[in-house]
Copies of this chain bind each other. A is one copy, B any other.
Amino acid sequence: MASDIEIARAATLKPMPEVAARLGIPDEALEPYGKTKAKISASFIATLKDRPRGKLVLVTAINPTPAGEGKTTTTVGLGDGLARIGKKAAICLREPSLGPCFGMKGGAAGGGHAQVVPMEDINLHFTGDFHAITAAHNLLCALLDNHLYWGNALQIDTRRIALRRALDMNDRALRNLVVGLGGPANGVPREAGFDITVASEVMAILCLARDLNDLTERLGRIVVGTRRDRSPVTARDLGADGAMTVLLKEAFQPNLVQTLEHTPALVHGGPFANIAHGCNSLIATDTALRLADYVVTEAGFGADLGAEKFFDIKCRKGGLAPSAAVLVATVRALKMNGGIAKADLGAENVAAVTAGCVNLGRHIENLKSFGVPVVVALNHFTSDTAAEIAAVQAFCAGLGVEAILSTHWAEGSKGTEALARKVVELVDGGSARFAPLYEDALPLADKIETIARRIYRAGSVVFDKAAREQLERWQEAGYGHLPVCMAKTQYSFSADPSLLGAPEGHELPVREVRLSAGAGFVVAICGDIMTMPGLPKQPAALSIGLNAEGQIEGLF
């Protein structure tokens, strides 16, 4: 069995103009980055704004388990499947983060015969977007500390600076630090820290901005900290928004690559799915919708987090109306939700599969509550038995939903033809009546309650006192219209990662709230959220290198 990297390297890629032509993108609208990556020019995108949008399909998943679900792989496979049945299709994915590549082995560009390529480039520097985001973010930080150094005319309370620095690296030693040491010539000492770049608010902003003007506006609204009277100080107050935009000008243009089957894929942006909304950029999705009839995209984590944020944050802000949702599940992951340990997944266990289906059922119900028709993609593993597959299909049928076995990992688009046909049927059926879960006008705390009760099925929400007070302050300060972005474990509907299946009546603790005023949401942190990962004892980096042929070894 060939590995992902072997399959990717064996592929013959089409020249970018040929890939672009599938979406009617002319040569002159491509800014090449090497021979197999390109950016779609802002000037071309500006010409698209009056075109009608195609149909949007969200790929989401059950709660992730260590068994693996294959959400990105299914997104790629479905895109290829739609192309196979003659549809003008495009795929929208997030860009992978560089840092984690050196921790655990493995990429994030799909797998098997459902990958986007050039896979190594996409996983490493790609077109430099994340580096540009890091630079823009850290320029803001440098301007902030420079402002303190030169006398702090804005009277920023150095104890209440919310802004942390960013680096696309897993580096736990940078989580908490004291900067500005070394005496008066070297700044003002204060507590600070670094987050990984995907956790930067600049990343979330890049992914939600409509155009460069909106990008500048949003960057300007970033709250870097407060004064003693708790009034906010913004990036615009520091004069940073213009220069940050200049650094992001190229990064804001969506990247175009291809799948192994040459389906156009826009891989652009990649905000964290916990403290941010976990979707690729709005500009990429919107561009794809103006160019293709069917656009397949994905959202981070399981549907409780990813789909909810996709609907309530990205679709709300971007005026998007998804036509269908594909819910990815695997027999293995359902078994784990049914109480089986990873080591015991090899043996057939229909009862465990059926028990685990409660997780699947809950997600189906939730997705439908947004007014979006659902199909289940059962991502096939060779260890799945016919009886196990049948159990899933029977369970779904009971909910009026089809579960379609998909073998794209092994077979590419041949394995998603049935899924693609079903998606087209749902989309073209026009049954979608998309509506977000809550209105803008609902108070912030009530938005959190609504998500907790309706999506997570929590029995109660317990706010830490400081979090409750902070929400009230923001409500008064005019941030009450913002949607909320839930930061919760992805492994359970609850805040307890060990509660698999479909728990209900649990208590959701809201320990902390953060304001992403530029991105345009309030983050509710329910549990411990890591914004700067560490490296394991034996990081993948130790075995990464170039071989005698100059090929990368050990990364995937």
Contact = CB atoms under 8 A, between A and B. Distances in A.
Contacts of A188: 173
Nearest to A176: B182
A379 B42 CA distance: 40
Given A178-B181, A545-B246, A552-B246, A145 B172 contact: yes
Interface stretch (A131-139, A321-329, A434-442): A131-139
Contacts of A240: 541-542
Interface string A142-176: 11011011100000000000000001111111111
Best-buried of A124, A139, A550 by chain B (most CB within 10 Å): A139
Contacts of A185: 172
B169 A175 contact: no
Please state the number of chain copies in the assembly.
2
A554 interface: yes
A535 to B, nearest CB: 4
Contacts of A176: 180-182, 186
B173 A535 contact: no
B124 A142 contact: no
Interface string A485-497: 0000000000000
Nearest to A238: B542
A153 to B, nearest CB: 10
Given A125-B250, A142-B535, A555-B246, A177 B175 contact: no
Contacts of A171: 138, 141-142, 145-146
Interface stretch (A30-38, A285-293, A458-466): A30-38
A544 interface: yes
A495 B124 CA distance: 43
Interface string A528-547: 00000011010111111110
Interface in A175-221: 175-182, 185-188, 192, 212, 216
A535 B147 CA distance: 9
Contacts of A170: 142
Given A34-B32, A172-B149, A249 B546 contact: yes
A280 to B, nearest CB: 21
A48 interface: no
Interface residues of A, number: 74
Given A138-B167, A171-B138, A242 B544 contact: yes
A45 to B, nearest CB: 12
A270 to B, nearest CB: 16
A128 interface: yes
Contacts of A552: 246, 249
B535 A143 contact: yes
Best-buried of A171, A241, A534, A540 by chain B (most CB within 10 Å): A171
A13 to B, nearest CB: 14
Interface in A230-270: 239-243, 245-247, 249-250
Given A174-B179, A534-B146, A212 B550 contact: yes
Contact of A242 (B141, B187, B554): B554
A243 B32 CA distance: 26
A243 to B, nearest CB: 4
Contacts of A132: 125
Nearest to A542: B239
A539 B146 CA distance: 9
Contacts of A246: 124, 544-546, 552, 555
A138 B42 CA distance: 32
Contacts of A42: 550
A92 to B, nearest CB: 23
Given A146-B172, A169-B138, A187-B172, A34 B31 contact: yes
A98 interface: yes
A186 B169 contact: no
A150 to B, nearest CB: 5
A102 interface: yes
A169 B139 contact: yes
A171 B180 CA distance: 10
A539 to B, nearest CB: 6
A177 B173 contact: no
13 contacts: A31-B35, A32-B33, A42-B550, A125-B132, A128-B128, A131-B131, A139-B169, A173-B192, A175-B181, A178-B178, A178-B181, A216-B546, A246-B545
